[in-house]
Amino acid sequence: MSPSVPICPLCQRPIPVGVKQSHHHLVPKLKGGKGGPTVLVHQICHNEVHATLTEAELARDFNTPEALRAHPRLSGFFDWVAKRPPEFHSRSAGGRRKRKR
C-alpha cells in the first residue's frame, strides 16, 4: 500500500480508495460534537461502534480511538476484523446496546 493510504485508527487496517468508509465524530453531533473532530474509519468499524455504545456513552467515556479500542467488546471485534482484507464488509448484527426498560 502507498504511504498516502489512510489507516483506520480502530482496526489498524488500510482504508484504500473505494472501500466502504465514513467519518466518525469522536463526540456525537447530538451531544455537542457538531463541527468537532472526526476520524476516517472503515464503515464496518463505524457500524460496530454505534451498535455497541449509546451516544451518551460515546460522548462521556469513549471519545477517542484509544478508548474505543480499549472497550472490552469492541477490542475483540477490532482484533477479529483486523485479520480480514481492507475491503471486507458485512452487515453488523446490530442492537447489542443495553436497552433501558
Summarised one tens digit per residue, pLDDT across range 73-86 is: 999 999 999 999 99
Q: Tell me: pLDDT of 42 over 80.
A: yes
| Inter-residue contact 62 to 68 (CB < 8 Å) | yes
Give domain status of residue 51, yes or no: yes
- The predicted model gives 5-20 an average pLDDT of 96
- Rounded to whole angstroms, the Cα distance separating 62 from 88 reads 25
Residue that is written with C-alpha cell 461502534 in the block: 49
Q: Tell me: pLDDT of 100 over 60.
A: no
- Rounded to whole angstroms, the Cα distance separating 86 from 100 reads 35
Q: Name which residue leads in pLDDT, 69 or 99.
A: 69
Give domain status of residue 97, yes or no: no
Give domain status of residue 98, yes or no: no
Number of domains forming the structure of the chain: 1
Q: Tell me: pLDDT of 98 over 50.
A: yes
The pLDDT, as a whole number, for residue 90 is 84
- E strand or H helix that includes residue 25: strand 21-25
Give domain status of residue 100, yes or no: no
Three-state DSSP class for residue 80: helix
| Inter-residue contact 23 to 40 (CB < 8 Å) | yes
Give domain status of residue 28, yes or no: yes
Q: Which domain holds residue 65?
A: 21-81
Q: Tell me: pLDDT of 93 over 70.
A: no
